[in-house]
Structure 1
Amino acid sequence: MLALYDGNCALCKASKEKSNKLDWLGRIQWISLQEYEKKGLQPSFRAIDLRRELHLIEGVKVYKGFFAARKMLLQFPLTILPALLLYIPFASLIGIPIYNWIARNRYKWMGTTCEDGSCSL
């Protein structure tokens, strides 16, 4: 699986580092939007979309936001059980608003700031 992030965004880089600590089995490959575009890979994405929500590519399928986080958490040994709860029918009805709230407040959650403004939404 390929996770995309904005390589100019301090918050995105911090999220990547924290996720890598949970990825003991090396199931997620991270690539910056800038590197992804340089290689001419498809599908293409806008940086602003990557700042708003996580994007995860598995084959030809693209997961975004809550669905990407849920899929990613399923890959990490420590988060498999909580991730399974996110697959209960209608979990997305609660999960999507919670994901969006966390994304909007991620500066507080990540304990970092974006000083050059590249992380602004």
Structure 2
Amino acid sequence: MKTIALYDETCSLCKETKKIFKKLDWLNKVEWISLQEYEKIPDSLSFSKHDLRRELHIITPSGGVKKGYSAVRRLLFLFPASFLISLLLYLPLTPILGDPIYKWIAKNRHKFLKKKCDDGSCSL
């Protein structure tokens, strides 16, 4: 079973993140499913719509859920090209910085992608 990454197909930052990660996924370990499609799947894990749009969620092959900084860190760990970099993100205390930085970027994504988010898709 593959790791499942849930992304918002209406969000430019989410689509760009997916595009970059797919290039790193040489071994095809991750299946990307849009939130919009995932929400239609009967008996899927239940997440609030607001939480799903707030940060990246992944479902591990064992059924565990990681989100935000932890999800990005886990995805980078899966890819050969980013494996060594991901090890740095697992050092003690890195979540103390990584989690707030991730949340700040996600919250302010409309500012970073002004040209691509003119339809309001990047706002929470």
TM-score scaled to structure 2, two decimals? 0.83
Matched, 1:28 2:41: no
Provide the C-alpha distance between the structure 2 equivalents of 1:96 and 1:42, rounded to a whole number of angstroms. Answer: 26
User: Is this contact kept in 2: 1:3–1:28, CA < 8 A?
Assistant: yes
User: Is this contact kept in 2: 1:15–1:110, CA < 8 A?
Assistant: no
**Cα gap change, 1:40 to 1:119, in 2 (>3 Å):** farther
Corresponding position of 1:101:
104
Measured after TM superposition, the shift of residue 61 of structure 1 is 0.7
The partner residue of 1:39 within 38, 41, 50 is: 41
The partner residue of 2:16 within 5, 14, 28 is: 14
**Structure 2: unaligned runs, 5 residues or longer:** none
Deviations 1:10-51 (A, max 9, x none): 332222111111111111110011111222242122333223
Q: Residue 26 of structure 1 aligns to a residue in which SS?
A: coil
More displaced 10-residue stretch of structure 1: 67-76 or 84-93: 84-93
1:1-121 counterparts in 2 under 5 A? 1-58=3-60, 59-107=62-110, 113-121=116-124
User: Is this contact kept in 1: 2:109–2:122, CA < 8 A?
Assistant: no
Provide the C-alpha distance between the structure 1 equivalents of 2:113 and 2:85, rounded to a whole number of angstroms. Answer: 20
Measured after TM superposition, the shift of residue 7 of structure 1 is 2.0
Measured after TM superposition, the shift of residue 104 of structure 1 is 3.1
Q: Residue 2 of structure 1 aligns to a residue in which SS?
A: strand
Counterpart code for 1:74: F
Counterpart code for 1:23: D
**Cα gap change, 1:57 to 1:102, in 2 (>3 Å):** same
Provide the C-alpha distance between the structure 2 equivalents of 1:109 and 1:86, rounded to a whole number of angstroms. Answer: 23
Measured after TM superposition, the shift of residue 83 of structure 1 is 0.5
Q: Residue 14 of structure 1 aligns to a residue in which SS?
A: helix
- Aligned-pair identity in percent equals 53
Deviations 1:49-70 (A, max 9, x none): 2232110101321101111011
